[in-house]
Amino acid sequence: MRAAVLAVFSFTATAVAILQPALGQQKTIKEQIVGTWTVTSFERTYPDGKKDHEFGATPKGVNTFDANGHFTLILLRPDLPRVASNNRTKLTPEESQAIATGSAAYYGTYTVNEQEKSLDLKLNGSTYTNQLGQPAKRIITLITADELRYRNPTSSSGTTIEVVWKREK
């Protein structure tokens, strides 16, 4: 009996010694964010408290972050219209309006502020060029191995935007 207790104690002590350094080393946000993320929710809140889902109830989109500080983002409504002319340069006014308001894309570089739990984006290109040169901060409200949530407190429309992403596998 005593040998069994000592064996269990020895095994437990060895396991703790091996695992303790790994348990104490949490990855930084910069390390955790690298990868490809698919949008699951996009919600805009107006100053009066009204909310909308600009990209629909089931938005489409991707956000990628590389280890060198580059990112891309594409957001689309799932119900964008097909172009009747089958020529992307010959849209009707209605098609143009629907596509312009139902899609957004931009890319650039990012830095992580670990203390603030935020991302600072520098946009190098955007489908909405008014964003270029403007502050683009995202406050990370949650990051796990499989989920990223952030808030844009300073959108160009004066609203707050909450976006939820799941990691692509």
Query: How many other C-beta atoms are found inside a 10 Å radius of the C-beta of residue 33?
Result: 24
Residue ranges covered by each domain of the chain = 26-167
Confidence check: pLDDT of 103 > 50: yes
Distance from CA of residue 115 to its chain's centroid?
18
Give the pLDDT confidence score for residue 15 in this predicted structure.
45
The first and second tokens of residue 81, run together, are 């219209």
CA distance 73 to 104: 8
**Average pLDDT value for residue range 88-107:** 95
CA distance 101 to 79: 12
Give the pLDDT confidence score for residue 126 in this predicted structure.
97
Q: What is the CATH number of domain 26-167?
A: 2.40.128.280
CA distance 117 to 139: 6
Query: How many other C-beta atoms are found inside a 10 Å radius of the C-beta of residue 106?
Result: 20
Give the pLDDT confidence score for residue 17 in this predicted structure.
45
Distances in Å between the Cα of 114 and the Cα atoms of 29, 33, 140 are 6, 12, 10
Contact 94, 121 (CB under 8 A): no
Confidence check: pLDDT of 7 > 60: no
Per-residue pLDDT band at 9 (split at 50, 70, 90): very low
